[in-house]
Amino acid sequence: MEPFLLAVGAEAGKNLFTWISCHVLFTLRAVKLAIRLLQVCCVLGFSLGTSFAAEDASIDRLLKKLPPPEKLIKRSPPQASQRPDPALKDPLLTYTVTAAMMRNWSQARFYSLKLSEKYPHSGVAAILWGNCAYHLRYYAEAAGAFRKALALAPRDAYTWMDLAITENAMGHVGAALNAMVKAAQLSPNDGDLAAVLGFSYINLNRIPQAIPPLQRAAKLLPQDYLVQSQLGYCLLVTGQSHAAIGYLQKGATLNSRYGPVWEHLGVAYKKQGRSRDAVSALENATRLLPSSSLAWRHLAEAYQATGRSAEARRAAARAQKLGPAAPGANKKKA
């Protein structure tokens, strides 16, 4: 297979999540924890204010993706008695939330651990404990807390997400991927989770497996240039260049300054015999990625296919001057 600019940044197989994946996941984490704390605050009768929810510019969009508040706080299955979680009335919860609001994670961890020990069947207590432990990088402890919460509410997609992030932080790539798959399965209409799963498969160089979640994400997030571009890339490298073109075109339209999509689009055009279109796309790619020897090499080939021999020689010389890509250099951050 000829080389392409990959759409991810980390070394394949070494880490589950790219920086893109992590950004989405940590945004979801921050929003989820903010909402859980906010719901607890409503029960306790005081306000968080606005500073916590302002941690990420995309929070407003992600808020709409979270489960209803009652699913975040009341975790009992339908057949169980609908008794309120006793942890919600304990002063330890007030202390935990107050410390978390003040970013005093050590104190918040202390109180949340005590709360979880006092109420071993409280999902809220376990989740807060896990989040506090994670903030302090006590990853094994956080994973244990999230597993405890999942034993109480196994269909909570965002707790599976928490577990995935925590397992990845410990270097447990397989366990992290399994948890992310579970989260995406439980929330089939959540485009962000589907996208992160697809990005993670790309980062592990499991491109064919990335296509189904990215197809779902592309439908749910039609204005997300990165999802459209990544899906097009995956289709391209699996030999589906005709299907790839539409997604790559849309990605380029949504963000015309995203260099990799232009190179992928140029290669897709070239494979379809559309040499003039390939030249146009690859000229954009080299303008946006002037240090990419691969982009210049593809442009040289496209020029040659259209009979522009002199320009082909210049582009080839530029590619040769830049030299072969260093190991991992073709894994372009998206």
Taking only the tens place, the pLDDT of each residue in 146-201 is 999 999 999 999 899 899 989 999 999 999 999 999 999 999 999 988 998 999 89
pLDDT (mean) for 231-235 = 97
**CATH number of the domain within which 257 lies:** 1.25.40.10
Question: What is the longest distance spanned by two Cα atoms in the chain?
Answer: 79
Nearest to 221 by CA among 195, 243, 184, 203: 195
Residues 125 and 249 in one domain: no
Residues 188 and 229 in one domain: no
pLDDT at 334 over 50: no
Helix (H, G, I), strand (E, B) or coil at 40: helix
Helix (H, G, I), strand (E, B) or coil at 84: coil
Could you give the count of Cα atoms lying within 13 Å of 7 in the half-sphere of its Cβ?
A: 33
Residues 186 and 42 in one domain: yes
Expressed as residue numbers, the domain containing 318 is 221-322
Residues 92 and 125 in one domain: yes
Q: How far apart are CA 281 and CA 275, in angstroms?
A: 10
pLDDT (mean) for 239-267 = 97
The predicted-structure confidence for 96-120, as pLDDT tens digits, reads as follows 888 888 889 999 999 999 999 999 9
Residues 106 and 245 in one domain: no
pLDDT (mean) for 254-274 = 96
**226 inside domain:** yes
What local confidence, expressed as pLDDT, does residue 84 receive? Answer: 75
**168 inside domain:** yes
pLDDT (mean) for 235-243 = 96
Number of domains observed in the structure of the chain: 2
**1 inside domain:** no
Q: Of the candidates 149, 169, 199, which is a domain's last residue?
A: 199
Residues 82 and 171 in one domain: yes
DSSP type of residue 331: B
Region of residue 325 (left: phi > 0; alpha: psi -120 to 50; beta: else): beta
Q: Sorting pLDDT into bands at 50, 70 and 90, what band is 65?
A: very low
Residues 160 and 90 in one domain: yes
For the record, the structure tokens of 83 come out as 């008794």
